[in-house]
Amino acid sequence: MSLQRNRSNNNADILETNDLLPDIHDVTRRHSVSKTVIGKADYELPIGEKSKLEAGYRLDINDNKYDNFVSSTSNNPFISDFNNNTDYRETFNAFYLQFKSKIGNFAYQLGLRDEISNVKINYISQNTAKEPLNKTKNYNNLFPSVFLSYDVSKNNQILVNYSRRIDRPRSFFMVPFPNYSNSQNIFEGNIDLNPSYVDSFEVGYNITRKKFTVNPTLYYRHATDDTKMLVYRPDESKSVFYTKPINLGNDDRYGLDLNFTYDPFAWLKIMGSLDMFGYKTTGIAYYDARDKDGNAKVGNMNFTGSGFSTRARLNTTFKLDKTLSVQLQGFYRGAQKSANQDTQDMYALNLGASKTIWKGDGTISFNIQDIFNTRSREVYSFNSDYTRRNYMQWQPRQFSISLTYRFKQGEKIEQPKKKKDINANEAGDDQQGGPM
pLDDT digits (tens, 9 = 90+) for 215-232: 999 999 999 999 999 999
- Label residue 420 left, alpha or beta by phi (over 0 means left) and psi (-120 to 50 means alpha): beta
Region 125-129 average pLDDT: 82
pLDDT band at 268 (very low <50, low <70, confident <90, very high): very high
* pLDDT for the residue 428: 42
pLDDT band at 411 (very low <50, low <70, confident <90, very high): low
pTM: 0.83
* pLDDT for the residue 14: 83
* pLDDT for the residue 22: 83
Q: H/E element holding 329?
A: strand 324-333
Beta bridge partners of 4: 36
Maximum C-alpha span of the chain: 80
- Tell me what the pLDDT averaged over the chain comes to: 88
pLDDT digits (tens, 9 = 90+) for 51-110: 999 999 999 999 999 998 888 888 777 788 888 899 999 999 999 999 999 999 999 999
In angstroms, rounded to a whole number, what is the distance separating the alpha carbons of residues 388 and 243?
12
pLDDT digits (tens, 9 = 90+) for 145-181: 999 999 998 889 999 999 999 999 988 899 888 777 7
In angstroms, rounded to a whole number, what is the distance separating the alpha carbons of residues 286 and 235?
14
Neighbouring C-beta atoms of residue 262, cutoff 10 Å = 15
Please determine, for residue 418, whether its predicted confidence score (pLDDT) is greater than 60: no
Yes or no: say if 22 and 12 are a contact pair by the CB < 8 Å rule. no
Please determine, for residue 426, whether its predicted confidence score (pLDDT) is greater than 50: no
| More confident call, 151 vs 426 | 151
Measure Cα distances from 336 to 306, 309, 346, 375 in Å.
8, 7, 11, 17
pLDDT digits (tens, 9 = 90+) for 350-406: 999 999 999 888 999 999 999 999 999 899 988 888 888 888 887 889 999 999 988
pLDDT band at 436 (very low <50, low <70, confident <90, very high): very low
> Which string of DSSP letters, residue by residue, matches 153-211?
ETTEEEEEEEEEEEEPPPGGGSSSS--EEETTEEE---TT---EEEEEEEEEEEEE-SS
Using DSSP's 3-state secondary structure scheme, residue 370 falls into coil
Could you tell me how far CA 117 lies from the centroid of its own chain? 19
pLDDT digits (tens, 9 = 90+) for 306-350: 999 999 999 999 999 989 999 999 999 999 998 888 999 999 999
Please determine, for residue 421, whether its predicted confidence score (pLDDT) is greater than 70: no
pLDDT band at 435 (very low <50, low <70, confident <90, very high): very low
State the Rg of the chain over Cα. 25
377 phi, psi to nearest 5 deg: -120, 130
Please determine, for residue 252, whether its predicted confidence score (pLDDT) is greater than 90: yes
pLDDT digits (tens, 9 = 90+) for 21-49: 888 888 888 899 999 999 999 999 999 98
In angstroms, rounded to a whole number, what is the distance separating the alpha carbons of residues 402 and 365?
5
DSSP 83: S
Please determine, for residue 434, whether its predicted confidence score (pLDDT) is greater than 50: no
Yes or no: say if 92 and 171 are a contact pair by the CB < 8 Å rule. no
